[in-house]
Amino acid sequence: MGAAEFRDQPDDNGTIVLPQKVALVLGGGGLKGFAHIGVLRALEERRIEPSVLAGTSIGALIAAAYAGGMPLDEMERRARALRKNDLFRIDHISMVRKRMLSPSLYLARPLRRLVEEIVPQGTFRDLDRTLLINTVDLEEASQVLWGLPGLQDVTVADAVYASCALPGFFPPGVVAGRPCADGGISDNVPALAASHGMDAVIAVDVGSTNIARARRIREKGFAAIYGRAAQIMMKSLQALQLERWRGPPLLLVRPAVWKYNWFSFAHVSRMIELGYEAANDAFDRAGASLMLGGVWPRRLVEVRVDRTACTGCTLCVTLAPHMMTMDRDGKAEVLASPVEWSRADGDFVHQCPTAAIHVDVVHGARRHPTLEMPVLED
């Protein structure tokens, strides 16, 4: 990686210089994924052209549309025009006839129609650039990344529908005879799977790593409870992958869309703006650092423990022995602070059952503190 170059300043032609081969990975997160459109806008302005596009769920939908040549203005128009009835229609007949054997809460056809209108026709071989669509084979319990060698002779629309089919919400899709569903079940932001042969990876996380505190979740019904459980599962899996990242240099873009509901249609324009802002902020902060490897951008943070709130449960020490210890009084204690963290670090902070661990940014972010958990908007 020593020869790879990444600069936050343009060259003489105004072009941002990146390593030669870059994968752009767009994660799942329901309608919060509209932030991906803003990220793509920022990349276009910086003249960044990914060699590989990969996506999960709504990230798969937007990645496929972009790979097929859909202009960003058209994406924005369609996103703003989308309404709940265009996507979510309860399958009343199946639920009455089959009851517990009904495959899903919602009908497949509205989602299929949306996918077919947006993504390119034909197979992955027909595309001008590499596109990877992340799914899970429900029978084999295995991740399937359509578009990889040997997995290219299927229609893009079939793969994208399956990637968007969150179990319980939409029926699984059938791709090359395999019953496949939302790839977020196993890998919501498939950065490592898309990194083979790449010099760098840009990963956009809109829904799995940072999540807001949900209010009155027990009162919001099956869909909200199930969706919340899926989001927590995705968060844990994603945090583990980033903590152990051994791939090429990774730029983690995390738009501040955590407080929005997965299926809210009320904040589309703002989510697009937040994606644009987050991408530009990440590029500006990372600068030439990506040539060093690891996860970027980084920031200097101060970690402290509220001793009056700490119960001495030892969970933080178990999860982060490199960072935490117990003092003589049986209270949690920070081993070293301040410390340099990427946006992938510090997940153990939110696991404290009494919220006794606090983090304040010393340098590298615009808001203080940044690790306070926002509240999910209704």
- CA of residue 4 relative to chain centroid, distance: 25
Does residue 10 contact residue 258 with C-beta atoms inside 8 Å? no
Distance CA 51, CA 102 (A): 41
Cα torsion for 134, 244, 211, 186, to the nearest 10°? 30
Closest alpha carbon to 206 in 83, 343, 8: 343
Q: Tell me, what amino acid is at 271?
A: M
**Tokens matching residue 1:** 């990686």
Q: Are 367 and 251 in contact (CB under 8 A)?
A: no
Known active-site residue 104 = no
Q: Which residue has the tokens 């937040």?
A: 274
**Active-site pick, 57, 104, 186, 208:** 57
Structure tokens, 180: 């496949």
Give which of 191, 52, 55 is closest to 118, Cα–Cα: 55
User: If you search the block for the tokens 């840009």, which residue do you land on?
Assistant: 202
Helix, strand, or coil (residue 152)? coil
d(CA 134, CA 275): 21
How many CB atoms sit inside 10 A of residue 48's CB? Answer: 18
Q: Is 281 a catalytic residue?
A: no
Which residues are CB-contacts of 243 (< 8 A; sequence separation ≥ 6)? Answer: 344, 345, 347
Q: Which of 311, 304, 275 is nearest to 37 (CA)?
A: 275
DSSP class per residue in 37-72: HHHHHHHHHTT---SEEEEETHHHHHHHHHHTT--H
Question: How, if at all, do strands 250-253 and 200-204 pair?
Answer: parallel
**Exposed/middle/buried for residue 234 (C-beta within 10 Å: 0-12, 13-18, 19+):** buried
- Exactly one of 158, 182, 205, 281 is catalytic; which is it? 182
CA atoms within 13 A on the CB side of 358: 12
Catalytic positions, please?
A: 57, 182
